[in-house]
Structure 1
Amino acid sequence: MNTTISNSKLKASIKHSGAELFSLKNNQDKEFIWEGNPDFWGKHSPVLFPIVGTLKNNTYTIHEKEYQLSRHGFARDMEFELIAKTDNSASFSLKSNEETLKKYPFNFELQLIYTLEETSLEIAYKVINKGETQIPFSIGAHPAIALPENFENYAFEFEKEEILRYNLLENDLISNKTEILAAKENLVPLNYKLFENDALVFKTLQSNFLTILENSKPYVKVEFEDFPSLGIWTKDQAPFVCIEPWFGYSDTADNSGDLFKKEGIIILDVHQTFHSKFSITIL
């Protein structure tokens, strides 16, 4: 099942499977979300929960008991319930169940709330601790912005001038090796060579948003003020780029496996609710 919301400027469509945004069109019917061609990447904008990235050996421990979780967690592959709907907003919920408890032994509710305002789509996350113990988790976004023109016609413009230091991935894990993304006056021209070693992982950034430029003109802005980390990724020759606001990231090679001690993890107290949001604005 799918749900569509709209206003006078935009129309967004969300799958109930994974509560995944798969279409964002302006009132000229131009599509801004990647189509999901599996020849490149068969997703559009999955939610990453209860982990972001890859665990060492796809394994973690809670109180010395081992559990397995695949890359980016399970929420993106599960059916969400539509719990509220207006013309311009829709809210989805995933609750812990017998299936999730085998992989992740915590009682939770994850909500995604999509809201259209003018030319922006806001995507809000709520994680509710429904149990009697603290919950360790990461959460992240993975929207793929469609780039219909030649990839090298695009550039990033970061909000602030800063040293754009990112960590390299090795075997899907975060390494201690870093490089600096070359920028001139906040601008980074795009080319596929930037991504030859997989995603660019920025553990911290001063910028709260970046703008994708198409032929030097503003195209799409992604705002991520609530999120401390950011991933940027594409595949070779793919006509999209993913701008990924994150809480947390892949394990390091020397990670202990204890999820409560994982770098970048959030610890949510009993009966508390975590809130975060980001937005995609069509320019």
Structure 2
Amino acid sequence: MTTIIKNSILTAEIKHFGAELISLKTNLNKEYIWEGNPEFWGKHSPVLFPIVGTLKNNLFHFNGMEYNLSRHGFARDMEFELIDVTENSAVFSIQSSGETVKMYPFEFELQIIYTLHENNLSITYKVINNGKTAMPFSIGAHPAFALPNQFENYAVAFEKEESLEYYLLENDLISNKTKKLEVHNKQVPLAYELFEDDALIFKTIKSKSLTILENENPILRVHFEDFPNLGIWTKMKAPFICIEPWFGYSDTTENSGNLFEKEGIQILESNATFHSKFSIEIL
């Protein structure tokens, strides 16, 4: 099942399974979201919760118990309930259950709110701790943007001049090894060789927006003012690029297994609510 929201400029389609954005089109029928061809990658824009990336051995411990939590968490594989909808907005929700507490022993509600305003789609994450203890979590976005022409015709432009260093993965975990990303005039031309070692993972970044350029013309901008971490990723030879604002990232190779000590983790107190928002601007 899907829900469609629209305004005079854009139409967005969201799948209830995973509350996943599967289409963002202009009124001229130009599509900006990756089609999800499983030959390359069968998703479009999954929501990463309650972890981003991979835990060491896919495990963590809490109160003397061991829990198995797979890569990027379970929200992307759950059916969300549509709890509110208007012509240009939709609110989706999941809550903790007997199944989720087997993987993640905390009581929560996750709401994802999609809102169209002119040439922008905003995506708001609302995490509510319904339990009696503090709750550790990460949350992140994973939108894949379609690049219908030659990959090398595209570039990404950072909002600010900065010296960028990204962390390399080792068995899907964050290693101590880094590489410098060469940036000229705030831009990085896209090339598959950049992603030979998987995603580019930035623990710190000054820029709070990233623009995709096609033949030097800006076509789309992702704004992520609220988010401290960022990933950029594609599959080899795939015609898309993912720009991924995150709160948190994979375990480091030295991680202890205590989720409360995890690098980049968020701690939400009992009965508290966390909000964050990013947006996709069509240029």
| Corresponding position of 1:89 | 89
Other-structure match for 2:128: 128
TM-score (norm 2): 0.99
Which amino acid is the alignment partner of residue 186 of structure 2?
A: N
Paired position in structure 2 for 1:180: 180
The corresponding residue for 1:250 is 250
CA distance in 1, matches of 2:62, 2:246: 22
Between the aligned partners of 1:34 and 1:123, the Cα distance in structure 2 is: 17
Task: Give the Å deviation of 1:27.
Answer: 0.7
SS in 2 for 1:193: helix
Question: Superposed, which structure 2 residues align to 1:90-239 within 5 Å?
Answer: 90-239=90-239
Deviations 1:167-188 (A, max 9, x none): 0111100011111110101010
Deviation, 1:247, is: 0.3
The separation in 2 between residues aligned to 1:180 and 1:282, in whole angstroms, is 29
CA distance in 2 between counterparts of 1:45 and 1:177 reads: 28
- 1:59 deviates by 0.4
Residue 21 (str. 1) matches residue 51 (str. 2): no
- 1:6-17 map, 5 Å: 6-17=6-17
Aligned to 2:267: 267
SS of 1:98 mapped into structure 2: coil
1:125-180 deviations in Å (ceiling 9; x for gaps):
00000011110000000000000010000001100000111101111000111111
Q: Any gaps of 5 or more consecutive residues in structure 1?
A: none
Q: Cα distance, 1:63 vs. partner?
A: 2.1
Q: Distance in 2 between matches of 1:114 and 1:277?
A: 10
Unpaired segments ≥5 residues, structure 2: none
TM-score, with normalisation over the residues of structure 1?
A: 0.99
1:8-87 superposed matches below 5 A? 8-87=8-87
Quote the Cα distance in structure 2 between the aligned partners of 1:216 and 1:63: 53
Task: Tell me which stretches of 4 or more aligned residues in structure 1 moved more than 4 Å.
Answer: none
The number of residues matched between the two structures is 283
Name the Cα RMSD after superposition.
0.5
- What CA distance in whole angstroms lies between the structure 1 residues aligned with 2:256 and 2:63? 12
- How far residue 65 of structure 1 moved from its aligned partner, in angstroms, is 1.3
Which AA in structure 1 matches 2:200? L
Q: What amino acid sits opposite 2:93 in the alignment?
A: S
Identical-pair percentage: 70
The AA in structure 2 aligned to 1:117 is: H
Structure 1: how far apart are the matches of 2:166 and 2:225?
A: 18
Q: Give 2:114's aligned amino acid.
A: Y
SS state at 1:57 partner: helix
Q: C-alpha separation between the residues in 1 aligned to 2:90 and 2:26?
A: 18
2-structure distance, mates of 1:89, 1:119: 14
How far apart are the structure 2 equivalents of 1:191 and 1:53? 23
